Amino acid sequence: MGRAVCADSAGVSEGQKPRKNTHERAQANETSFPPRNEPLTFTLKNIDSSHDTVQTLGISADVVDSFGVGYYTGKGLLHNHIVVPLKNKDAEIIAYIGYDPKARSYTYPPRFHRDLEVFNLSRALAAQWVGDLDLVLVRHPLEALVLVSAGFYNTAAIMGGILAEAQLTRLLDEYGAGKKVTLFLPAGDPGATDLLLSLTRFFFVRLALYEPEKDTHTGLTTEAARNLLTPPS
């Protein structure tokens, strides 16, 4: 079962952007080169897209192949993790995101600036959207890929518990203020209120809550996603 509630943003002008706090302004003054995620100079080998663990994610085979998802058996930080490549606008890999299927937790490279990126944003904004749904936001990459498998190609992930100011700026730059956003979260999510407060400053937000499926890695199934997000005919 799931439920949805709506919250509307309070008249924000198109040109308005998040303001930097004192700490952020001080950091910006220390260097003229803001942080960025450079394309990787390597690609991981030993990624098995047909691994049994990948098959249990609830992500369709074509989406697994299209996004380069697989079980990594090589050495290093992501050993025995499911890996998901994260690409920039030019389709260059800038990081590999790891998911530990035993701990059910995500791992990000130590020098990767996660707060600068929104997983799958470029593809989501270029996709043909379903019904009157606009951009759908979830927390984690694998959740996004379950929704993509369900036909919601307009799904992106913030990759964590909070929406950073830099991520919000990217949404404003690439999507635009005053647009509609569906925030798709598990029921009881402790950070839902904070995310709503961040987003409703600039967007019209619909909050859709789902009851997590206990026997899945993401808490989601494609069927549940379709039942909750597909607009009535």
Mean pLDDT by 10 residues, the chain (233 residues): 46 50 47 80 95 95 97 96 96 97 94 96 82 84 97 95 95 95 94 95 95 90 91 72
Among candidate residues 113, 147, 169, the one where a domain is terminated:
113
Dist. CA 39–CA 8, nearest whole Å: 37
List, as one string, the DSSP characters of 54-100: HHTS---HHHHHHHT-EEE-SSSTTTTEEEEEEE-TTS-EEEEEEEE
Among candidate residues 98, 113, 128, the one where a domain is terminated:
113
130 with 217, same domain?
Answer: yes
17 with 131, same domain?
Answer: yes
Q: What is the pairing mode between strands 180-186 and 135-138?
A: parallel
Residue 41, in any domain of the structure: no
146 with 172, same domain?
Answer: yes
CATH number at 129 reads: 3.40.1360.10
96 with 122, same domain?
Answer: no
Residue 33, in any domain of the structure: no
Predicted structure pTM score: 0.84
Dist. CA 227–CA 49, nearest whole Å: 28
Predicted pLDDT of residue 129: 63
Predicted pLDDT of residue 8: 46
Dist. CA 58–CA 12, nearest whole Å: 38
In this structure, the dihedral spanned by the alpha carbons of residues 99, 53, 141 and 105, taken in order and rounded to 10 degrees, is -30
Residue 3, SS3? strand
Dist. CA 39–CA 201, nearest whole Å: 32
